């Protein structure tokens, strides 16, 4: 147990006085000076519970006091257990008294927990240091919170009441935590438990960007959760594509995208990262848990850590556009067309581009869409034969398209594009466009006329 003792002079020591009080409890001993005041308090730590008496010795000079009392609890003379009478004037004082203290029966527990911007949690904080005070005088400590965030102190209490104004003050916080060295955590008999909380001192910033264009993404909602499961916070990216998580404590966190921004795929992978503070420097290390459950370091294109900044990239939702060429003609009325004839077709996406992207589609392999100066404004040019089809893959949803064909020339009587334009609206689906031309060239025939002549000779 810890034994708190208050020594009070009836009067006060004045100039020239020098009074010391020594308290002995079992093998524990402590001395305190009483100078220019009438009260002094001290704390004997880890006194065996079996100790039921203490010896108090007063030694020195006083010029104003008439008597010295040992109070428990602090109060008037009638509350004291012993006193030493001293005459008025400058007097040599040397006396010892024995005080029966009974058993320690006031147990105080201080619990230190973490807070996030004032939001108190039940997460214990280990390694915080506190001192014990009585009437503005430090009488014990430092006490250090254990793995449960607890400090347990037993104070002697003869009359079931605390003698004096006892309180704790935090003298040192673990790295990564804020603390107020002037705040007093009062001890009273109304409660045996005191709860102290401090905010974390770590700030991180998340930035959300388009993986293709690098543009910032507004409106993506992320959830940050502490490994204890006792604290979580959801926030959305702002106009700058950023989220600031402030007042964090050291430890491990999971970052999950809850809601994707409009037009973007949701990132199903989870970021797990750990905050460590050493010598005032914040270090963040992390991994990404993939959909398959594998973990990779937080250094790939999708997730990156730089200092206290985490960047996350997302891909826009995308669809496809296919263009097929068809030729029609009536064989019984027309000559056969050249079916190897190639037709020049243009596909304008968005506002299009001044310079067309000419694509050789001989292999009919899909065309992979690529952005133009971080926009979807692109114009493609390619040539198709009858029966050929080409697909442009990965066009961002919401992109307008328009398909046209260069005039095919004589004998092509009709051309249709269906649909000729529209918007890419459905993710991973393909809009199919058919460009049809009608060929008509009248067949030529040979006519042989035989004329039989009847000749009459007369």
* Residues 386, 356 within the same domain: yes
Comparing CA positions, the residue from 312, 248, 256, 309 lying closest to residue 277 is 248
CA–CA gap between residue 3 and residue 108 (Å, rounded) = 12
| Rounded Cα gap, residues 146 and 151, in angstroms | 7
Does one domain contain both 110 and 130? yes
- What's the pLDDT at 75? 45
Residues 6+ apart with CB under 8 A from 362: none
- Which structure tokens are listed for 59? 């030694």
Say if residue 117 is in the same domain as residue 221: no
Task: Verify that 330 and 434 share a domain, yes or no.
Answer: yes
Alpha carbons within 13 A on the beta-carbon side of 243: 23
Structure tokens given for 90: 């400058």
Same structural domain, 268 and 366: no
Residue 403 in contact with residue 435, Cβ under 8 Å? yes
Beta bridge partners of 166: 134
Q: Is 458 part of any domain?
A: no
Predicted local distance difference test score (pLDDT) of residue 173: 95
Asked if the structure places residue 302 within a domain, the reply is yes
If you average pLDDT over every residue of the chain, what do you get? 81
Alpha carbons 177 and 147: distance in angstroms, whole number: 16
Contacts of 13 (CB under 8 A, 6+ apart): 19, 34, 35, 36, 37, 38, 62, 63, 64, 65
The pLDDT value recorded for residue 159 is: 41
Domain shared by 185 and 249, yes or no? no
Structural domain includes residue 82: yes
For 350-425, strand residue ranges (E) read 357-358, 367-368, 378-384, 389-396, 400-405, 412-418, 421-423
- pLDDT given at position 67: 55
Written as six digits, the tokens of 264 are 């973007």
Neighbours of 119 (CB within 10 A): 12
Residue finishing a domain among 199, 225, 247? 199
Q: Are residues 146 and 116 in the same domain?
A: yes
Parts of the chain with a pLDDT under 70? 1-2, 8-18, 36-38, 48-52, 61-93, 95, 99-106, 155-164, 189-190, 289-302, 333-334, 414, 442-458
**Does residue 136 sit in the same domain as residue 183?**
yes
pLDDT in tens, 399-410: 999 999 998 877
Is the domain of 335 the same as that of 284?
no
**pLDDT score, position 292:** 55
**Does residue 30 lie within any of the structural domains?**
yes
Let me know whether 376 and 424 are in one domain: yes
What pLDDT digit, counting tens, does each position of 405-449 carry? 998 877 777 678 989 999 999 999 999 999 998 887 766 555 566
pTM given for the model: 0.69
How many residues does the structure list for the chain?
458
Predicted local confidence at residue 287, as pLDDT: 76
Residues 372-405 pLDDT 10s: 888 999 999 999 999 999 999 999 999 999 999 9
Structural domain contains residue 58:
yes
pLDDT tens for residues 109-118?
999 999 999 9
Note whether residue 451 is domain-resident: no
Q: Rounded to whole angstroms, how far apart are CA atoms 185 and 189?
A: 13
Which residue among 100, 121, 144 closes a domain?
A: 100
Backbone angles phi, psi at 78, to 5 degrees: -65, -20
Q: Given this model, what pLDDT does residue 9 score? A: 63
Last residue of a domain, one of 146, 173, 199: 199
**In a domain? residue 143:** yes
The answer to whether residues 259 and 248 belong to one domain is: yes
Split into its structural domains, the chain has a count of: 4
How far, in Å, CA of 82 to CA of 93, rounded?
15
Domain span holding position 363: 318-439
Residue at 454 is within a domain: no
């Amino acid at each position: 147990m810890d034994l708190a003792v208050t020594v009070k002079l009836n009067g006060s020591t004045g100039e020239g006085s020098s009074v010391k009080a020594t308290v002995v409890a079992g093998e524990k001993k402590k001395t305190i000076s009483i100078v220019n005041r009438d009260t002094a308090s001290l704390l004997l730590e880890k006194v065996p519970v079996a100790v039921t008496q203490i010896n108090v010795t007063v030694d020195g000079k006083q010029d104003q006091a008439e008597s010295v009392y040992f109070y428990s609890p602090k109060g008037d003379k009638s509350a004291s257990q012993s006193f030493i009478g001293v005459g008025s004037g400058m007097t040599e004082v040397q006396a010892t008294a024995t005080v029966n203290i009974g058993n320690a029966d006031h147990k105080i527990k201080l619990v230190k927990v973490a807070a996030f911007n004032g939001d108190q949690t039940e997460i214990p904080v280990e390694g915080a240091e506190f001192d014990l005070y009585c009437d503005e005088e430090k009488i014990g400590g430092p006490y250090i919170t254990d793995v449960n965030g607890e400090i347990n102190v037993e104070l002697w209490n003869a009359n079931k009441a605390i003698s004096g104004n006892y309180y704790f003050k935090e003298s040192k916080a673990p790295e990564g935590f804020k603390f107020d060295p002037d705040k007093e955590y009062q001890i009273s008999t109304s409660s045996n438990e005191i709860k102290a909380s401090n905010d974390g001192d770590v700030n991180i910033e998340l930035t959300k960007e388009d993986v293709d264009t690098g543009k910032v993404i507004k409106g993506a909602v992320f959830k940050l959760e502490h490994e204890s499961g006792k604290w979580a916070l959801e926030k959305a990216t702002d106009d700058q594509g950023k989220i600031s998580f402030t007042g964090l404590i050291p430890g491990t966190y999971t970052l999950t995208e809850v809601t994707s921004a409009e037009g973007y795929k949701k990132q199903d992978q989870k970021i797990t990262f750990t905050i460590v503070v050493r010598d005032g420097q914040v270090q963040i290390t992390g991994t990404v848990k993939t959909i398959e459950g594998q973990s990779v370091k937080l250094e790939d294109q999708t997730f990156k850590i730089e200092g206290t900044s985490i960047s996350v990239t997302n891909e826009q939702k995308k669809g496809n556009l296919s263009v097929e060429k068809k030729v029609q003609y009536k064989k019984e009325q027309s000559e056969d067309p050249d079916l190897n004839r190639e037709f020049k077709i243009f596909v304008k996406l968005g506002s299009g581009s001044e310079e067309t992207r000419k694509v050789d589609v001989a292999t009919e392999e899909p065309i992979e869409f690529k952005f133009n100066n971080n926009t979807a404004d692109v114009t493609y040019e390619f040539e198709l034969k009858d029966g050929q089809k080409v697909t442009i893959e990965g066009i961002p949803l919401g992109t307008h398209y328009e398909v046209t064909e260069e005039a095919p020339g004589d004998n092509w009587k009709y051309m249709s594009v269906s649909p000729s334009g529209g918007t890419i609206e459905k993710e991973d689906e393909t809009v199919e466009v058919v460009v049809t031309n009608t060929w008509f060239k009248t067949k030529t025939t040979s006519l042989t006329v035989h004329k039989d002549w009847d000749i009459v000779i007369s």
